[in-house]
């Protein structure tokens, strides 16, 4: 776990001022929390659902420091200790049931079998 590695570096006396976190939202949430606790400045690169990428549609809305931001135009990198990661997780999973239904329908209709190992 990246949190274990960061903790080990800190415990070993390594001075780390800041970190840039990119990956799954739960990992970014807990890594950010740890880095903040250890006195580091964490920043996270967010990848919410995006449609137009111009700040017009609002799909990529995230709450940072209590303010609405759009990851496509205001980010994607934000100081992460004030990101509302719980809200972000809820928003990014909003369409999971529809995505699953669509994938199953597509596979059934087209006879496609995904080989990527993710489905
Ligand atoms: S993707 Fe539409 S506002 Fe960011």
Atom number in ligand 1 closest to CA 49: 1
Q: What is the pLDDT of residue 81?
A: 93
Determine, yes or no, domain membership for 52. Answer: yes
In the chain, how many domains are there?
Answer: 1
Determine, yes or no, domain membership for 104. Answer: no
Determine, yes or no, domain membership for 60. Answer: yes
Q: Is the CB of 85 under 6 A from ligand 1?
A: no
What's the pTM?
Answer: 0.81
pLDDT along the chain (119 residues), means of 10: 96 95 96 97 93 93 96 96 95 88 80 70
Maximum Cα–Cα distance for the chain, whole Å? 58
DSSP assignment letter at 66: T
> How remote is the CA of residue 46 from the centroid of ligand 1, in Å?
12
Question: Measuring from atom 2 of ligand 1, which residue has the nearest CA?
Answer: 57
Task: Please report, to the nearest 10 degrees, the dihedral formed by the alpha carbons of residues 64, 67, 73, 75 taken in order.
Answer: -10
Q: What is the pLDDT of residue 106?
A: 78
Q: Is the CB of 68 under 6 A from ligand 1?
A: no
Domain that holds residue 16: 2-94
Element (H, E) at 68: strand 67-70
């Amino acid at each position: 776990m990246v949190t274990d590695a960061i903790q080990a570096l800190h415990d070993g006396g390594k001075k780390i001022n800041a970190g840039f976190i990119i990956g799954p939202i739960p990992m970014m949430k807990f890594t950010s929390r740890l880095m903040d606790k250890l006195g580091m400045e964490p920043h996270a690169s967010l990848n919410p659902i995006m449609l137009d990428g111009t700040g017009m549609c609002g799909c990529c809305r995230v709450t940072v420091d209590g303010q609405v931001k759009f990851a496509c135009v205001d980010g994607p990198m934000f100081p992460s200790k004030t990101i509302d990661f719980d809200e972000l997780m809820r928003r990014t999973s909003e369409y999971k049931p529809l995505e699953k239904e669509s994938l199953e329908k597509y596979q059934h209709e087209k006879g496609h079998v995904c080989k990527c190992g993710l489905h």
